[in-house]
């Protein structure tokens, strides 16, 4: 609370002033508060849905509240009262496609952070140290994929590399989810590296896709939107994939392996969809 109060006071002061020579006005504090509250309540609804069920009264109330606030924010944008999110930003196809692809791939790949640990420790019987090494390998592959992707995106094209990264990530998810109840360590390592490499390829390319055709005056808003889409994707992943896992466990007599495999196959499909959406609209005209 003290930090939030200090931030609000700061934003109402010198930071709210427009930069010299800028065509934009002061910082839109009311719009930012409405947008933050909308997203916060929506994320809370997703979190509670995982525990209380999607049709429980608190969850329905939170979803309804976030919808009402979202309509208020849209009305404020249309009337020009809220300027925190530039209205012209959505006119650029790269922005819409990049944010959508980023959200979907985060939704798909985040299963590695909350389902994969249970698989390694409970099914494979490995220690926390082994789990840490596997996640470190995934991070290293992510780094390598990002480095290669940035170079390729400038030469081949943002959309093509974004799609390739999503497909490779989907292959990694498929491999990780179908290793079975008695997997070899080599198979698990290979799946983890493939997934991390694909995610790294996608991340570098999707940021390039989103920002390359966006006017420089909207660069900050575009980066913020990508960050928000990734945050929502992580919460959505936990809520949806946990629900899917529990549903499959109930349908398969409590078999974690079958439910785990089904969840990962679904995640792989979402990852491929994250790559397909970037070809939905024509490229920006420059």
HSE of 254 in the Cβ direction (CA atoms, 13 Å)?
Answer: 0
Distance CA 162, CA 167 (A): 9
**Residue 285 scores a pLDDT above 50:** no
Q: Which of 195, 151, 145 is nearest to 170 (CA)?
A: 195
The total of other beta-carbon atoms located within 10 Å of residue 179's CB is 21
Token readout for 23 is 């065509």
What pLDDT, on the 0 to 100 scale, is given for residue 126?
Answer: 94
Do 264 and 177 touch, CB atoms closer than 8 A?
yes
Do 209 and 97 touch, CB atoms closer than 8 A?
yes
What pLDDT, on the 0 to 100 scale, is given for residue 60?
Answer: 94
- 3 state SS of 22: coil
How is residue 54 annotated by DSSP? T
Average pLDDT (164-190) is: 95
What pLDDT, on the 0 to 100 scale, is given for residue 79?
Answer: 83
Do 163 and 276 touch, CB atoms closer than 8 A?
yes
H helices within 53-127, ranges in order?
57-78, 93-109, 111-114, 116-118
Domain assignments of the chain as residue spans, ordered by start: 7-82, 89-286
Q: Which of 164, 198, 176 is nearest to 278 (CA)?
A: 164
pLDDT digits over 73-124, tens only? 889 888 878 877 776 677 676 788 888 999 999 999 999 999 999 999 999 9
Average pLDDT (58-72) is: 94
What pLDDT, on the 0 to 100 scale, is given for residue 282?
Answer: 57
The total of other beta-carbon atoms located within 10 Å of residue 197's CB is 25
Do 256 and 122 touch, CB atoms closer than 8 A?
yes
Read off the pLDDT band of 268 (50, 70, 90).
Answer: very high
Q: Is 127 left (phi over 0), alpha (psi -120 to 50) or beta?
A: beta
Do 179 and 126 touch, CB atoms closer than 8 A?
no
Do 43 and 228 touch, CB atoms closer than 8 A?
no
Q: Which of 97, 25, 49, 10 is nearest to 238 (CA)?
A: 49
**Rounded alpha-carbon distances, angstroms, from residue 25 to 80, 83, 217:** 12, 9, 13
In sequence order, the 6+-apart residues with CB closer than 8 A to the CB of 190 are: 175
Q: Which of 171, 44, 35 is nearest to 109 (CA)?
A: 171
Q: What is the mean pLDDT of the chain?
A: 86
The second-level CATH assignment, the architecture, of 89-286 is Up-down Bundle (1.20)
pLDDT digits over 194-248, tens only? 999 999 999 999 999 988 877 777 777 788 888 888 988 998 899 899 988 988 8
Q: Which of 270, 247, 253, 259 is nearest to 54 (CA)?
A: 247
Do 276 and 170 touch, CB atoms closer than 8 A?
no
């Amino acid at each position: 609370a003290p930090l939030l109060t200090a931030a609000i006071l700061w934003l109402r002061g010198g930071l709210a002033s427009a930069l010299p020579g800028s065509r934009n006005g002061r910082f839109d504090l009311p719009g930012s508060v409405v947008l933050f509250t909308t997203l916060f309540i929506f994320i809370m609804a997703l979190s509670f849905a995982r525990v209380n069920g999607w049709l429980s009264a608190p969850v329905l109330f939170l979803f309804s509240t976030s919808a009402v606030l979202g309509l208020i924010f849209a009305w404020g944008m249309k009337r020009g009262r809220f300027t925190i999110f530039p209205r012209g930003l959505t006119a650029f196809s790269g922005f819409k496609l990049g944010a959508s692809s980023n959200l979907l791939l985060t939704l798909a790949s985040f299963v590695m952070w909350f389902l994969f640990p249970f698989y390694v420790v409970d099914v494979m019987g490995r220690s926390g140290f082994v789990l840490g090494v596997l996640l470190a390998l995934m991070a290293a592959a992510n780094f390598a994929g990002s480095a290669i992707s940035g170079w390729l995106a400038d030469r081949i094209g943002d959309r093509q590399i974004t799609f390739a990264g999503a497909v490779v990530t989907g292959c990694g998810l498929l491999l990780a989810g179908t290793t079975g109840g008695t997997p070899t360590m080599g198979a698990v390592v290979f799946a983890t590296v493939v997934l991390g490499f694909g995610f790294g390829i996608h991340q570098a390319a999707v940021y390039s896709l989103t920002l390359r055709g966006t006017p420089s005056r909207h660069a900050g808003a575009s980066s913020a939107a990508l960050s928000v889409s990734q945050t929502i994707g992580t919460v959505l992943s936990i809520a949806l994939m946990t629900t899917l896992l529990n549903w499959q466990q109930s349908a398969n007599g409590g078999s974690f392996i079958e439910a785990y495999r089904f969840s990962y196959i679904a995640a792989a499909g979402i990852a491929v969809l994250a790559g397909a959406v970037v070809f939905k609209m024509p490229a920006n005209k420059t």
